[in-house]
Chains A and B, each alone.
Chain A
Amino acid sequence: MAANPQPRVKRPHGDAVNLSHGSGGKAMRDLIEGLILPALGASSTTPLEDQARIDVPEIVGNGGRIAFTTDSYVVDPLSFPGGDIGTLAINGTVNDLAVGGARPTVLSCSLILEEGLPFAILEKMMCSMARAAQAAGVRIVTGDTKVVPRGSADKLFINTAGIGIIPKDVNLEIARIRPGDQLLLNGHLGDHGAAILKARGDLALDADVQSDCQPLHRIIAALLAAAPGTRCIRDVTRGGLATVLNEFAQGAGVGMRIVEDSIPVRPAVRGICEVLGLDPLYLANEGKLLAVVPAEEAGAALEALRACPEGTNAEIIGEVLPNPPGRVVLSSHFGGERIVDMLVGEQLPRIC
């Protein structure tokens, strides 16, 4: 598409998305220019090219590297306590970049809209994206819009891809994990998973829980400054802490021991888990990270995490052991020990 010399903002007709908004024609242009771009905070005079062109002179020649990631967001419901699909689509991709030590810079935004999606909802989600992008300091520079017939998608799916810049001396890899390293978590587990369960509304839960959806690149920068020997970091999302620990243990061929009493879980989340027979170790999070840090830097790392608003409840939750290789063991509050395995399928509530 050629650059449009004149501002031409036109609200789309009607109240809801229909198939013509995905046709590639005038209706689609009205939707993008009249609703999506303004909501995202982009000017309607922004040239709508097929690609974004980004200058990266600071990368060339200084030894840094580009981090590139993509993720799709299909959450149901679209809004939940503490966030919505728009904030997830920004923070999720920002965090995927940040845990590799990258400074997130630009994002793409690809929308799949179900015919019948009210414009009001779409606009609300786009505004959330814009706010989240601004808060995280990233720009949405390119995108795509498709409309699918009613029933072919669930209201709104968002894909975001992101590019970040990894500074020259940062190298976070699972293979660097060593026995003796400490495991650090930046706060309460399971808030997002519990908030989604509550928002689905079919459990009549009356618990005060909010999603922890937040960008993690600033706290990671603080962590790396305080503990430059940090081995690796992972954001704790679907599959929960148990899954990340198992990936670390298997990837590095080491054992992991976590201590139940050290793992922060809010009483409301514990309560939901007790009622439904779920385990907070497997609940999803959207603003939590697990960092593996050499023992000699663990104190400084913990202090740095706790000094950030994203990590006030950070804790050292366990350590890396030579054995058993590839396995995660939990020392329970009760005095016993058990294996913590990866999640199989999804957590299904027990019958009784």
Chain B
Amino acid sequence: MRYVDEFRDPKKASILVEDIHRLVQHVPQARNRPLQLMEFCGGHTHTIFKYGIEQMLPESVELVHGPGCPVCVLPMGRVDDCVAIAECPGVIFTTFGDAMRVPGSRKSLLQAKATGADVRMVYSPLDALAIARDNPDREVVFFGLGFETTMPATALTILAAERQRVANFSVFCNHITTLPTIKAILDSSDMELDGFLGPGHVSMVIGTHPYHFIAGHYHKPVVIAGFEPLDILQSLWMLLKQLAERRCVVENQYARIVPEAGNIQALDAIQQVFEIREYFEWRGLGSIDHSGVRIRDCFAGYDAERRFAVPNLSIADPKACQCGEVLKGVIKPWECKVFGRACTPETPLGSLMVSSEGACAAYFNYGKISAEIPAATEEVF
């Protein structure tokens, strides 16, 4: 396919891999311990596993799979809230597909559907708005979820709902923001990261300037990376080059998509509709200040949190789950006490096992071919 196959060329890949092997020998940090490079975005994690990229890298380069899968970091209490809304009489609850299997404390949306709730999978919030127009006697709720990547579509849909005077449509807003979370990881005491692959899709909206604090304040290099396998390899090479040359800046490998200043129209829509929450709870990471958004008062009629009585309870993660440590790169997925035993893609305990973009599910499904599942397992709850 045009514009896809060019980024999957095995000859170019092998040249890049050779260059990476050569370059890493000139990185001073790699002499005593493996380099830890974090890809923040779940889309990168997916590509890395799908194409077996980790196995092509030198042993002195370790990839840490960050919290960039919005499904994976959704706290259990918010899933319970979704189920509570979906089970209200007359509600059609609409959601992206991979959010349907995320476990709540009682059930997932998929299980709620099986027990009678009208839960429908959509590919865009505009599809949910169309369902609302077609069902004027029902309340249609869209599960707004994701980083700055999906935020503009939700904002534009709310603006469209207002313009079209669709009164039976609302959004259960769980959108989250990238930068406070990266900052929280960088501030963590057990953090040992050496550099970041920046999230390409998020950067398409916010541009490259917002990442300068990572290079400037924390002295970690950042390369905004695309999602094809050659994008990832080239971005890793660019990161290593910065480390080898003792440079520390924000570079844009994904320049064919990401403008330095971001997408002004998308940012404008976000600004119109959303405002920062004081704090938002993340699964595995706890509460992070200013890391979520809510719908502004002037669009209160489209805010499902105000239209429905949601339980809004905080549910503790299962105590054996080590999602937080995996997300910060402190342990590898298979080192978690319940990985592959109590926690599998069929019966996920931790959210990292839910979506194919989650580090644990990726390891489980595509995994290191030689990695053994640990025999030991501990009490789960």
Give residues in A with beta carbon < 8 Å to B.
Answer: 202-203, 267, 270-271, 274, 276-277, 324, 327, 329, 332-339, 341, 344-345, 348-352
Contact, CB under 8 Å: A345 / B52 = no
> Given B43, B55, B146, which contacts A336 in the complex, CB threshold below 8 Å?
B55
Given contacts A202-B123, A334-B229, A338-B52, contact A348 B365 (CB under 8 A): no
Pair count A-B, CB < 8 A? 96
> Given A274, A335, A344, which contacts B346 in the complex, CB threshold below 8 Å?
A344
Nearest CB of B to A1, in Å: 40
Contact, CB under 8 Å: A334 / B13 = yes
Please measure, in the bound complex, the distance between the C-alpha atom of A327 and the C-alpha atom of B371, giving whole angstroms: 13
Q: Which residues of A contact B149 (CB under 8 A)?
A: 352
Interface centre among A202, A274, A334 (most CB of B within 10 A): A334
Q: Which residues of B contact A349 (CB under 8 A)?
A: 96-98, 121, 123
Q: Interface residue count for B (Cβ, 8 Å)?
A: 46
Q: Which residues of A contact B97 (CB under 8 A)?
A: 348-351
Contact, CB under 8 Å: A350 / B369 = no
Please encode chain B, from 29 to 51, with 1 for each CB lying within 8 Å of some chain A CB and 0 for all others: 00000000000001100100111
Given contacts A348-B101, A351-B71, contact A333 B365 (CB under 8 A): no
> Given A202, A333, A338, which contacts B10 in the complex, CB threshold below 8 Å?
A333
Q: Which residues of A contact B43 (CB under 8 A)?
A: 350, 352
Please measure, in the bound complex, the distance between the C-alpha atom of A352 and the C-alpha atom of B99, giving whole angstroms: 12
Contact, CB under 8 Å: A334 / B52 = yes
Who on chain A is nearest to B345 by CB?
A: A344
> Given A327, A332, A352, which contacts B52 in the complex, CB threshold below 8 Å?
A332
Q: Which residues of B contact A332 (CB under 8 A)?
A: 50-52
Contact, CB under 8 Å: A324 / B369 = yes
**A to B CB contacts below 8 Å, 30 in the list:** A202-B123, A267-B1, A271-B1, A277-B356, A324-B369, A332-B51, A333-B8, A333-B10, A334-B8, A334-B13, A335-B14, A336-B53, A336-B56, A338-B49, A338-B51, A338-B367, A339-B365, A341-B364, A341-B366, A345-B101, A345-B110, A348-B100, A348-B121, A349-B96, A349-B98, A351-B70, A351-B97, A351-B99, A352-B149, A352-B201
Interface residues of B in 179-212 (CB under 8 A from A): 201
Q: Which residues of B contact A333 (CB under 8 A)?
A: 8, 10
Interface centre among A324, A345, A350 (most CB of B within 10 A): A350
Contact, CB under 8 Å: B1 / A274 = yes
Q: Which residues of A contact B147 (CB under 8 A)?
A: 352
Nearest CB of B to A201, in Å: 12
Nearest CB of A to B349, in Å: 14
Kindly list the 4 A-B residue pairs having the minimum CB-CB distance in the complex, ordered from nearest. Answer: A336-B52, A348-B97, A338-B366, A344-B345
Contact, CB under 8 Å: B4 / A348 = no
Please measure, in the bound complex, the distance between the C-alpha atom of A264 and the C-alpha atom of B90, giving whole angstroms: 46
Identify 4 new A-B residue pairs, CB closer than 8 A, beyond the known A335-B13, A344-B345, A351-B70.
A274-B4, A277-B356, A332-B51, A352-B201
Q: Which residues of B contact A337 (CB under 8 A)?
A: 52, 55, 369
Please measure, in the bound complex, the distance between the C-alpha atom of A341 and the C-alpha atom of B49, giving whole angstroms: 13
Please encode chain B, from 94 to 128, with 1 for each CB lying within 8 Å of some chain A CB and 0 for all others: 00111111000000001000000000010100010
Nearest CB of A to B283, in Å: 15
Given contacts A349-B96, A351-B71, contact A203 B123 (CB under 8 A): yes
Interface residues of B in 125-147 (CB under 8 A from A): 127, 145-147
Q: Which residues of A contact B369 (CB under 8 A)?
A: 324, 327, 329, 337-339
Q: Which residues of A contact B14 (CB under 8 A)?
A: 335
Nearest CB of A to B107, in Å: 14
Q: Which residues of A contact B101 (CB under 8 A)?
A: 345, 348
Please measure, in the bound complex, the distance between the C-alpha atom of A350 and the C-alpha atom of B361, giving whole angstroms: 13
Q: Which residues of A contact B351 (CB under 8 A)?
A: none
Contact, CB under 8 Å: B8 / A352 = no
Please measure, in the bound complex, the distance between the C-alpha atom of A335 and the C-alpha atom of B43, giving whole angstroms: 20
Nearest CB of A to B108, in Å: 10
Q: Which residues of A contact B10 (CB under 8 A)?
A: 333-335
Q: Is B357 interfacial (CB-CB < 8 Å)?
A: yes
Nearest CB of B to A317, in Å: 18
Please measure, in the bound complex, the distance between the C-alpha atom of A284 and the C-alpha atom of B295, giving whole angstroms: 41
Nearest CB of B to A77, in Å: 16
Who on chain A is nearest to B149 by CB?
A: A352
Q: Which residues of B contact A277 (CB under 8 A)?
A: 356
Interface centre among A270, A341, A349, A352 (most CB of B within 10 A): A352
Q: Which residues of A contact B263 (CB under 8 A)?
A: none
Q: Is B272 interfacial (CB-CB < 8 Å)?
A: no
Who on chain B is nearest to A352 by CB?
A: B149
Given contacts A334-B8, A334-B13, contact A350 B52 (CB under 8 A): no
Nearest CB of A to B95, in Å: 9
Nearest CB of A to B231, in Å: 12
Who on chain B is nearest to A346 by CB?
A: B97
Q: Which residues of A contact B53 (CB under 8 A)?
A: 334, 336
